[in-house]
Structures are given as C-alpha cells and as structure tokens.
Structure 1
C-alpha cells in the first residue's frame, strides 16, 4: 500500500510539472540568442536576466538624473495627492522616494529581499510612512486587487521571466481607469549606450501589452534615452 501511494504521488507530481511546462511552452520558447541573454523568448523577444542587488550602486549613480531626467518622468505621471502607486521592480527605491511625497501611498515591489531591505533602511532613516514594501515573485506582483491608480515600471519589464503572468497580476491590481507607465530604453535609437538586450522598441512593447489587454494611450517622447509609454486597459 505504501509503495502504491508513493507511486501515485510521483505520478501526480510528474503530471503537474509536465502540464505546467506544456503551458509555459505554448507562450515561451527556448533557443540560443544574445550571449548575455536567458535563452527564453516571448513574442520574438529574448528575455534578459534580472539585474542583481549587487548593481545597487548603479541604480543610485549621481549621473542618473541627467541620463534619465527622473523629475520630468514624474511630471509625465501627473501624480495626484490621492494616487496609490506601485513601483514594480523598485530596486533601491530611487523612484519610490521621489514619488512618496506626492502620492497617498506607494507600493515598492521587488523580488530581491536585499533591494527591499535597502528601501526599508532608507525609509526608517527618513521617517517616510506611506511606503509599503512587497515581496513579489517571478509570476506575480502580490498586490491587492483593484487598489492601484498608477503602475511604474522602469527598465524592468524586459527582465520579467513570465511577462504574461506578471502583467495579468498587474491588471488585477489596477483600478479600472488605472495606468501603466512603461519606461524602457529606446531600441530604435542606436546612440543610447545600453546593451540591445536591455532595450525595447515601442512596436514590441505595444505588441506584448496588446496581447495582455492593454492599449497605448500615448508615448511621451521627452526623456533623454527612454520611452515613456502610457498603457490603459482596453
């Protein structure tokens, strides 16, 4: 009896894993690509590796404001005092701490505990009360449903291992009139000094977001190196 039970458990686990892999393979493919890439593809785009917490100094580099014009980005977002905002892939909290004084509440979402700890340390140092830390996963942002007015994703979407599942979870978290601000280095501009794997074209972003049930409201073309694409639910 015990042997039969173990065989049944093994069969169930094997079937579950096989079914999950089958579902993944319907949307994602695996092949050689960029030597710095993951080898995992979605809609003809190779997914990039997640930047580790070891790169936190690069996120906080002094020249970042000049290169990315974060202040202009925040103006593009038109943050209101009653806005609830989620920064997905918040990293060290570079944008989080700039948005917090303008918004009602900011959710800082990241999959790396070290990044969240850096935000927590700074939050305590500055005495900021309206920042909520959330440990996300590869498949979910782990946010409350129908809670978020605006989602900010800065140079992170192209690193999602499961973009379909992640955008679906973001969609659940957004209010009906919510907006996604998708910020990605412009693949169309060869002068932008970023590896091609970490860039994205407007056409590619629109294709993927359309598949997830979002449409492009506008692409605000006023940042030095990045697209500022605003998506809303269709």
Structure 2
C-alpha cells in the first residue's frame, strides 16, 4: 500500500473517486495517512459498498492504528455501464484491482472522463496477465496484458503519463 500511496500523491482536501471500491479498505487506509480527503466509494454491489461496511472499516483502522481517521467516505452504487458519480468533481479517479472485472470498459472509461476535473488523473492499479488468457485467482475473470490495458484506456482518449511497477505483475498506470 505504501507504493500506491506514494504514487497517488494525495493532497489535503482532494476529492477522489474509487471505482470498484467495495467497502473502501484501501481508501480508508489512504485517508488515515493524509487528512482531509473525500472519497466517493463506488461499486455495483450494494452488499459490499454501504455505510455499514465503510464504518466497520474505519473503526478497524482507527483501532489498528490508534488514531482517528479524518477522511470522508461517500458510498455510490453504479451499474455495469455507469459510475453514477457527479461530473467534473474529482481530482483523481482510482481503479484498484477492478479493471479486469468491467464488462463495459469503454462506457466506464468515458464516464471517468466526465467525472474528472480538468487536469485530473486516472490511476489504474491492476494485476497483469503473464500470458494471454490468464485468469485472476480471486474472481476467475480474465486478466489483461499490459498492452491490452493501455490500448483500452488510450482508445477512450486518455494519455499515458507513467507506469509504476509494484512487483508481482501489479502495475499502476497513470493517465490524463
């Protein structure tokens, strides 16, 4: 998580969307390290993305870290084709270990363009396939090769800024 935190370079008072966030475990940790962040935690699964799950995560981290978390967390239920997030709102959009689960990449990526503020950054942190057709062990969905993922995103009008290698076939792709 530390390499992710450094790469995302959060600043106090930023507003961040996290797509496919479930109950926000990563985002709650990030908010424990940088005060004043507002996270919109978006997912299509109401069982995982709700106030109760988020509050449990906050309580866990507060107890574990021995300090209060000053972030704000807003759950948003989207659909397979829409994030249902407000336009022109976000400094950063995160997609952490979820891109391979999207059925409608173009629709979600086009939505990301609408919800980002001018100059905002899209971060996709994803486990990559070592070979064509490799399946993700957790969800049993197909993983993408690096060039496939980049092509999906660039075909929707984003420009690749940099790639951060986290090891173990996980990379963070930064797009504007």
Task: Give the TM bin, normalised by the shorter chain.
Answer: 0.7 to 0.9
Of 28, 40, 43, which aligns to 1:110?
A: 43
Normalised by the length of structure 1, the TM-score is 0.62
Higher helix share: 1
Q: Distance in 2 between matches of 1:214 and 1:113?
A: 29
Decide whether the 8 Å contact of 1:99 with 1:106 is kept in 2.
no
In 2, the alpha carbon distance for the partners of 1:221 and 1:202 equals: 11
Which one scores higher on RCO, CA 8 angstroms, separation ≥ 6? Answer: 2
Deviations 1:152-176 (A, max 9, x none): 1112112112111111111100011
Deviation at 1:106, TM superposition (A): 0.6
1:150 is the counterpart of 2:92: yes
Q: C-alpha root-mean-square deviation of aligned residues, in Å?
A: 2.4
Greater Rg by CA: 1
Using the TM superposition, give the Cα deviation of residue 124 of structure 1 relative to its aligned residue in structure 2, in angstroms: 6.9
Query: 1:167 maps to which residue?
Result: 109
The runs of 5 or more residues in structure 1 that have no matched partner are 1-69
Q: Give TM-score, length-normalised by structure 2.
A: 0.81
Q: Does 1:92 align with 2:36?
A: no
1:35-184 matched pairs, under 5 angstroms: 70-101=1-32, 102=34, 103-117=36-50, 119-122=53-56, 125=59, 130-184=72-126
Aligned residues: 162
- Structure-1 separation of matches of 2:46 and 2:141: 25
